[in-house]
Amino acid sequence: MKSEPSTFSIDDLAKRPNQSEPWDGVRNYQARNFMRTMQLNDLAFFYHSSCEVPGIAGIVKITKTAQPDKTQFDLKSDYYDPKATPENPRWFCVEVKLVKKFDHIITLETLRKQATLKDMRLLQRGSRLSVMPVTSNEWSIIDKLIK
């Protein structure tokens, strides 16, 4: 799950009550669909994008499954969607809770150096989905990179 740290970083998550936060603002159908497949207690990597050192900053857990994203109904929100109604919501979000903040970012550069990760979706050319799946094999490879 990607976030721009200037908007919402892993440190911001750490400061939230219960270290939990709804992952709102996703406005891409594919990313939304992936979120809807997430189940309670699923784990995800928290990825920092569009920043000085892009990479994985830590691990989060899904503490609420997908429910309507409130920001789509909020006129004042950047994520407001005039085509969405409470009766017929268009966008959904899960709630995530911080599990672990890494001592060091696992950088995009490091990920790219792993030959075993070359097929990982995140690393594919033109890949820019903000929510995307990680295989269990990829997960264990990345898990071993944590220091």
Partner DNA sequence: GCCAACGTTGGC
Q: Which of 51, 84, 141, 145 binds DNA (CB under 7 A)?
A: 51
Shortest CA distance to 71 belongs to which of 61, 63, 80? 80
Q: Which stretch binds DNA (CB under 7 A): 11-19, 61-69, 90-98, 128-136?
A: 128-136
The residue within the footprint of DNA, chosen from 11, 12, 29, 37 (CB under 7 A), is: 29
**Contact between 55 and 107 (Cβ < 8 Å):** yes
d(CA 73, CA 9): 24
Give the residue from 37, 56, 40 showing the smallest Cα distance to 109.
56
Q: Which of 15, 28, 116, 140 binds DNA (CB under 7 A)?
A: 28
Smallest gap, in angstroms, from Cβ of residue 28 to DNA? Answer: 5
Residue 103: phi, psi to the nearest 5?
-65, -35
Those residues with Cβ within 8 angstroms of residue 16's Cβ, 6 or more apart along the chain or in another chain: none
Is residue 2 a contact point for DNA (CB under 7 A)? yes
Minimum distance of DNA from residue 26's CB (angstroms): 9
Binding site for DNA (CB under 7 A): 2, 4, 27-30, 49-51, 54, 108-109, 112, 124-130
